Amino acid sequence: MTLSAVLLGLSFWLFALGVVGVLIRQSPLAVFMSIELMLNAANLLLVLGFGKPELAGAALHGLAGAFIIIAVAAAEVAVGLAIMVAVYRTEHEVDLDLASVLKG
Amino acid sequence: MVGGLTLACALVAALAAVLVIVQKDVLHSALALIVVLLALAGIYAGQGAWFIAAIQVIVYAGAIMVLFMFAIMVLESRREHPSKLASARLHRLAAVLAGAALCLGMAGSAQAPTASVAPAAGVPEISAILFSEFLLPFELVGILLLVAVVGVMTLTGHAGRTE
């Protein structure tokens, strides 16, 4: 079992844990953290591609993609937490079961 | 040496990721997530991607997690309430099974890449790519961040004015 295989498995593990976390957690903050786990699993894959010499020409593209994903994650977290603050102002509690205002 | 450190980081990340999911206290989840992010930064450094490792520590483990901590403290929602949904226990079981199936499916469909010596990529190489081939996505990310900042101000500021 090579090191790359271990890291590939770690990426799968992080993504699967992120999916499980999104589905089982109640707090939207914890759901956000699970989404971060999934984003990091994808980033790990992008950086792993960088270490492969047969991808030499395209390897740096993975790093650029990882850079952009981190920036997008920062924007996503800022907007998401602002939405949570807005929900907290109306419900005085942050709970995914209570955030059903937009439900038709 | 590098391989051993990378393996240790991978182990730490895998275990801390479990803690992120199973902790009842959201603050403990956030602390475990910081450990995951730092361990991943170590792995990136071991792969030769020093710039991404630095960005991971500064932006992810630094800025984003501080924002998380801030939100947890402000919202005071550290304890999760038991779900009011009728079949929450069943949902959790289904979620765990779905995660396991996903993990198995991805592991089955992937071929392990061969180990290799990582070339070093500094800031010049990455910025050369970012400002040539990735110029459009780079500028779009800039616009996205601007829109996010304005959106956050609108969301939180407007709610305050109506009260």
Domain ranges, residue A32:
3-91
Q: For tokens 């010499």, what's the residue?
A: A53
In a domain, A98, yes or no: no
Residue pairs between chains A and B whose CB atoms are closer than 8 Å? 244
Looking at residue A25, what is its pLDDT? 86
Which of the four pLDDT bands, split at 50, 70 and 90, describes residue B5?
A: confident
Which of the four pLDDT bands, split at 50, 70 and 90, describes residue B42?
A: very high
Consecutive H or E run containing A39: helix A28-50
DSSP category for residue A55: G
Contact across the interface for A85 and B74, Cβ inside 8 Å: yes
In a domain, A101, yes or no: no
> Which among B54, B14, B103, B109 is positioned nearest to A7, based on CA atoms?
B14
Given B85, B103, B152, which is nearest A16 (Cβ)? Answer: B103
In a domain, A63, yes or no: yes
Which of the four pLDDT bands, split at 50, 70 and 90, describes residue B117?
A: very low
In a domain, A102, yes or no: no
Sort out which chain A residues have CB atoms less than 8 A from B34's CB and list them: none
DSSP category for residue A35: H
Looking at residue B110, what is its pLDDT? 61
Asked if A77 and B63 touch (Cβ cutoff 8 Å), the reply is: no
Q: For tokens 């990426």, what's the residue?
A: A11
In a domain, A24, yes or no: yes
In a domain, A103, yes or no: no
Residues of chain A with pLDDT under 70: 1, 50-58, 104
A36: domain CATH number?
Answer: 1.10.287.3510
> Which among B105, B23, B2, B6 is positioned nearest to A29, based on CA atoms?
B23
Prediction pTM value: 0.80
Which of the four pLDDT bands, split at 50, 70 and 90, describes residue B79?
A: low
Looking at residue A56, what is its pLDDT? 62
Look at chain A and report how many structural domains it folds into. 1
What is the arithmetic mean of pLDDT over B12-34? 91
Asked if pLDDT for residue B92 goes beyond 80, the answer is: no
Looking at residue B141, what is its pLDDT? 94
Contact across the interface for B68 and A32, Cβ inside 8 Å: yes
